[in-house]
Amino acid sequence: MSPKANTSEEKPLSNSQRAYLSLRDMIFAGELAPGSDHLESELAEQLGVSRTPVREAALMLESQGLLELRPRKGVRILPVSPDDMAEIYDVLTELECLAARNAAKHAYPEADLLPLATAIEDMEVAVAQNNLEEWAEADDRFHQILVSLGGNSRACAMFDMMNDQVRRARTVTLFMRPLPVKSNEDHRQVYEAIKTGNVGTADAVHRAHRQNAKNMILELLQKHRLRGV
């Protein structure tokens, strides 16, 4: 799982963890552009740390498919092609549908599903306010909670790695897509299926939801020639 933000009850983040979080944020914000090359020494100076934490952070980001370490040449920020996204969505679909089925089988009390319901409510408020950035944050939260409810730690780890790539593509295409009203309706149906223990509906609705998301992202990437996401 990705390093989490520090709280008063947690140990301070190491230099490597801080470098990881900073570089990851810079990649998602486009400050480190897809296809760009960066020396480790330059990144270390920019972050105010030594090269060792930057190298350790880069190894973590390389394992997540966000950059490539090149001997004596520093790092290259990797693009995500439509073909990459198609493969990533196929894997995510299976991971999340497994989680939806397991969550529906688990018979969670409604109190345990409150974070999922809250994410849906936040998405609905964001759409009503035409705030796509807030919607994207709540949407990402919904999918993370869903996978967590599936109760499979290895699926959670794989989801974290794959979902980072989806976030990059979604950031670029967020304001090109239609208002995600249908997406919110899908999430609500998945939640109700999990709450009532309807395994088949949870799987079917979420599978169709992810397939629609995949088709839309690929169409936008290809239509706008966003090969360097």
pLDDT digits (tens, 9 = 90+) for 184-217: 999 999 999 999 999 999 999 999 999 999 999 8
User: Which pLDDT value is given to residue 177?
Assistant: 86
Asked if pLDDT for residue 1 goes beyond 60, the answer is no
* 37: region left, alpha or beta (phi > 0 left; psi from -120 to 50 alpha): beta
User: Which pLDDT value is given to residue 228?
Assistant: 45
User: Which pLDDT value is given to residue 69?
Assistant: 93
User: Which pLDDT value is given to residue 10?
Assistant: 66
Q: Are 203 and 146 in contact (CB under 8 A)?
A: no
Residue 65 banded pLDDT, cuts 50, 70, 90: confident
pTM above 0.85, yes or no: no
Asked if pLDDT for residue 118 goes beyond 60, the answer is yes
| CA 121 and chain centroid, separation | 19
In this structure, are strands 67-70 and 37-38 parallel, antiparallel, or unpaired? unpaired
Domains of the chain (ranges plus CATH)? Answer: 15-77 (1.10.10.10), 82-223 (1.20.120.530)
Helix (H) or strand (E) holding 108: none
- For residues 181 and 28, the model is more confident at 181
Asked if pLDDT for residue 72 goes beyond 90, the answer is no
User: Which pLDDT value is given to residue 4?
Assistant: 47
- C-alpha distances (whole Å) from 81 to each of 27, 143, 226 are 16, 22, 8
Q: Across the beta sheet with 74-77, what order do the strands follow?
A: 37-38, 74-77, 67-70
Which pairs count as long-range contacts for 152-157, CB under 8 Å and 24+ apart, including other chains?
152/98, 152/99, 152/102, 155/95, 155/98, 155/99, 156/1, 157/1
